[in-house]
Amino acid sequence: MRNYLIVILIFICSCSAQKNSLKKIENVTEDNIVDISYQKEANGISFTIKNLNNSEISYVKRNKLEIDRLLNGEWIRVKILPCPCDAPCKEINQDILIKPNKSLNIDWNMTESWCGKKENEFVRETITKKVENGEYRISIMLKDVDGIFKQISKEFIIN
Q: Is residue 62 part of a domain?
A: yes
Q: What is the pLDDT along the chain (159 residues), one digit of tens a residue?
A: 544 444 343 444 444 443 333 334 444 544 678 999 999 998 899 999 999 989 999 999 877 889 999 999 999 999 999 888 888 887 777 899 999 999 999 999 999 999 998 777 778 889 999 999 999 999 999 999 899 999 999 999 998
3-state SS of 59-104 is EEECCCCEEEEEECCEEEECCCCCCCCCCCCCCCCEEEEECCCCEE
- The pLDDT assigned to 31 comes to 60
Q: Is residue 113 part of a domain?
A: yes
Number of domains in the chain: 1
Assign residue 107 the CATH number of its domain: 2.60.40
- The pLDDT assigned to 19 comes to 38
Nearest CA among 22, 20, 25, 18 for reference residue 140: 25
Q: Is residue 20 part of a domain?
A: no
Which residue range(s) make up the domain with 81?
25-158
Q: Is residue 5 part of a domain?
A: no
